[in-house]
């Protein structure tokens, strides 16, 4: 046996993980090398044991009842777009555009997931929801960045940092190369991997995915902070003069990437951390809420709210008292990210059905009930560490439509997000002066406006004023028309 094998075997035995070498004698040389590489790269037995014990202690501990401690946002730290005047919003928009013009704004895209629930093993960002343009989530977001840079003017570039996982990194990189980064310079787009954590059974023993491969899973969207440091991105941000980051998940098809109103608001408030929320209008909606607990802001999961708390309403306007719905849409300063990079993040236990190799029989099994856990970190767990935390409430119909499920679910699915795009873009045309936007004879109301033509409904007057449109409508930018 090699010295490398002997060292790894000794460590595994010390931490009761020796079963990972059960099939060594029947592996080929390439498989043995792959297993040793996997054990060297992703398995730190001491750290994993500590993390498992910490995660299980958290999961089984008696949680403090938050319901008596919750307070809604202080008004001086909270702005609703629906309640602000156009003058106020334009002022914030120009403040955000100025930061973009100066090259101080970057975007972090959380794109480590696959489209499993959509019936695809490809990175979710590559998914095409069958818009008339055929554009994927990645392409829509890239084109919003391009248009926003054009609106800002100047030489400033919005640097785009895309967090992938071991399951999506190579395919995502190939996808961007294949599509020439959707018109962005390749050096403006930086892909980096979040870390993976071994999956374990309920006793903390690591599971094998194959006889030569450890079962692993991404460490959750909260893995962003460690990954930014380990990949050297925090140093890069400082070298490039990027002071503000907009972080969001890949699956919100309406996302206003690097929204200048949001950026401008956070900068004006001298925030080191901010969140964009939408109004929660149904007490039983399955979204967490952002609120104050003991003087600090945090996300409280909907499952932690009592029925009484979830249904509480303001006497002044009848709205839910705790209605700041969390949609994974965040603002950070680079300085804040640097400060919390070494923070030990809370670990959350997710019980999952994890395919594994039975070390007794050698058979690979696909369980029908949860058989193990994945340990995850959540991006919002750093909110209590902020020194100046603010929130901006956007309009749901303009800002949030999540792609989570196949069409059979009927919600948060390709057909529902397409419908949300169509409704918003019809609204843009009417606001820009269109005389009417009529449905087609087959009741289709397909209406898509390219991000290269308009970022958020601006600049459509020349194309729309006095015009009548009959769906399907597909308005493109000048660059796209030249390529056709």
Average pLDDT of span 188-202:
93
Q: How many residues does the chain have?
A: 484
pLDDT at 122 over 60: yes
- Which pTM does this prediction carry? 0.91
pLDDT at 254 over 70: yes
pLDDT single digits (tens) 405-450? 999 998 999 999 999 999 999 999 999 999 888 876 555 679 999 9
pLDDT at 54 over 50: yes
The sign of the dihedral angle between the CA atoms of 292, 294, 297, 301 is negative
pLDDT single digits (tens) 298-319? 998 888 888 899 999 998 888 9
Nearest to residue 220, comparing CAs of 113, 325, 330?
113
Say whether 43 sits in a helix, a strand or coil: coil
User: What tokens appear for 129 in the block?
Assistant: 């929801």
pLDDT single digits (tens) 353-386? 999 999 999 999 999 999 999 888 999 999 999 9
Least confident of 64-78, 79-93, 365-379: 64-78
Domains and CATH numbers, the chain: 63-404 (3.90.550.10), 424-483 (2.10.10)
Average pLDDT over the chain reads 91
* Residue of higher predicted confidence among 83 and 115: 83
Q: Residue 464's Cα: distance from chain center in Å?
A: 34
Q: Residue 285's Cα: distance from chain center in Å?
A: 19
Q: What share of the chain is helix, strand, coil (3-state, %, to 5)?
A: 40, 20, 40
pLDDT single digits (tens) 275-285? 999 999 899 99
Say whether 214 sits in a helix, a strand or coil: strand
User: What tokens appear for 255 in the block?
Assistant: 């996302």
Cα angle 217, 222, 228; round to 5 = 100
- Reported as a pLDDT band with limits 50, 70 and 90, residue 83 is very high
Question: How far are the Cα atoms of 274, 290, 330 from residue 70, in angstroms, in the given order?
Answer: 19, 10, 21
Contact (CB, 8 A) for 414 and 403: yes
Question: How far are the Cα atoms of 1, 43, 48, 54, 356 from residue 17, in angstroms, in the given order?
Answer: 18, 10, 11, 18, 15
pLDDT of residue 61: 61
* Residue of higher predicted confidence among 61 and 180: 180
Least confident of 41-50, 184-193, 319-328: 41-50
Average pLDDT of span 33-41:
86
């Amino acid at each position: 046996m090699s010295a490398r094998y002997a060292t790894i075997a000794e460590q595994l035995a010390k931490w009761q993980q020796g079963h990972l070498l059960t099939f060594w004698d029947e592996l080929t040389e390439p498989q043995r090398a792959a297993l040793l590489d996997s054990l060297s790269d992703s398995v730190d037995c001491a750290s994993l044991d500590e993390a498992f014990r910490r995660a299980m202690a958290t999961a089984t501990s008696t949680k403090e009842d938050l319901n008596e401690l919750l307070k809604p946002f202080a008004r001086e730290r909270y702005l609703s777009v629906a309640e602000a005047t156009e003058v106020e919003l334009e002022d914030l928009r120009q403040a955000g555009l100025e930061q973009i013009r100066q090259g101080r704004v970057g975007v972090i895209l959380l794109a480590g997931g696959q489209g499993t629930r959509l019936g695809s093993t490809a990175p979710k960002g590559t998914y095409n929801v069958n818009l008339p343009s055929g554009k994927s989530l990645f392409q829509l977001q890239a084109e919003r960045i391009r248009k926003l840079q054009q609106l800002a003017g100047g030489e400033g570039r919005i640097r785009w940092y895309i967090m992938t996982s071991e399951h999506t990194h190579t395919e995502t990189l190939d996808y961007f190369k294949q599509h020439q980064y959707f018109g962005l310079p390749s050096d403006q787009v930086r892909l980096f991997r979040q870390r993976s954590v071994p999956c374990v059974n309920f006793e903390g023993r690591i599971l094998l995915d194959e006889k030569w491969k450890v079962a692993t899973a991404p460490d959750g969207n909260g893995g962003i902070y460690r990954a930014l440091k380990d990949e050297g991105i925090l140093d890069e941000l400082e070298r490039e003069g990027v002071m503000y980051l907009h972080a969001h998940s890949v699956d919100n098809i309406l996302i206003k990437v690097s929204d200048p109103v949001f950026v401008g608001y956070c900068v004006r408030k001298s925030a080191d951390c901010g969140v964009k929320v939408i109004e929660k209008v149904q007490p039983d909606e399955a979204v967490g809420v952002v609120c104050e607990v003991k003087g600090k802001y945090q996300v409280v999961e909907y499952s932690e709210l009592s029925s009484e708390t979830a249904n509480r309403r303001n006497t002044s306007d009848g709205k839910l008292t705790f209605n700041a719905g969390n949609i994974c849409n965040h603002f950070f300063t680079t300085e804040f990210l640097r400060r919390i990079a070494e923070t030990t993040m809370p670990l959350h236990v997710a019980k999952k059905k994890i395919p594994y190799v039975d070390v007794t029989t050698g058979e690979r099994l696909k369980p029908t009930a949860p058989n193990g856990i994945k340990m995850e970190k959540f991006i919002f767990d750093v909110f209590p560490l902020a020194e100046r935390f603010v929130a901006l409430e956007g309009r749901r119909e303009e800002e949030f439509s999540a792609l989570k499920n196949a069409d059979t679910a009927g919600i948060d699915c390709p057909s529902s997000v397409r419908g949300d795009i169509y409704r918003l873009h019809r609204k843009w045309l009417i606001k820009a002066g269109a005389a009417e936007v009529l449905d087609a004879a087959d009741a289709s109301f397909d209406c898509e406006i390219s991000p290269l033509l308009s970022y958020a409904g601006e600049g459509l007057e020349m194309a729309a004023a006095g015009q009548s449109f009959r769906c399907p409508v597909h308005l493109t930018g000048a660059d796209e028309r030249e390529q056709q």
